């Protein structure tokens, strides 16, 4: 469904397979892949394949998709090596807009974890 993609968006290109990524998970609606500049032992991004610009653009109808993404977080975090709660755990971050520090304007959830120290955070 190419109309769901922005041809100038790097994460749309990753979702379409036009730019390679180190995949963690994929289904028809969702992709997870390693962050290219990880700042912790575990650092991957979860994105909707459909081009949603940011959390500020999320609408009521997106709730099932976002719920699905959130429900994937603990499974994929464990799969990628985050240690069990509560000694382990992970961080979920969604930067939104300029004040929120968002660099890539395609909604993404950072999942960050693993033993400290981390480069950031």
Cβ 42 to Zn ion shortest distance, Å: 24
User: Near ligand AMP by CB under 6 A, which window of 63-71, 76-84, 101-109, 112-120?
Assistant: 101-109
Cβ 74 to ligand AMP shortest distance, Å: 21
92, exposed or middle or buried, with CB in 10 Å at 0-12, 13-18, 19+?
middle
Cβ 91 to ligand AMP shortest distance, Å: 13
- Sign of the torsion angle spanned by Cα atoms 60, 63, 65, 66: positive
Binding positions for ligand AMP, 57-86, rule CB under 6 A: none
Our CB check for ligand AMP shows the closer of 18 and 75 to be: 18
Residue 1 interacting with ligand AMP (CB under 6 A): no
Residue 95 near residue 101, CB atoms below 8 Å: yes
Selected binder of ligand AMP within 3, 8, 37, 119 (CB under 6 A): 37
Facing residues of 30 across strands?
A: 48
């Amino acid at each position: 469904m190419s109309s769901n993609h922005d041809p100038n968006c790097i994460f749309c290109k990753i979702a379409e397979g036009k730019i390679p990524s180190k995949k963690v998970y994929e289904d028809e609606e969702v992709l997870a892949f390693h962050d290219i500049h990880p700042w912790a032992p575990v650092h991957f991004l979860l994105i909707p394949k459909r081009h949603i610009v940011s959390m500020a653009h999320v609408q009521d109808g997106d709730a099932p998709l976002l719920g699905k993404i959130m429900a994937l977080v603990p499974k994929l975090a464990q799969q990628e090596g985050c240690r069990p709660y509560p000694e382990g755990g992970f961080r979920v971050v969604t930067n939104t807009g300029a004040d929120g520090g968002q660099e890539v304007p395609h909604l993404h959830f950072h999942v960050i974890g693993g033993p400290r120290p981390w480069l950031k955070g």
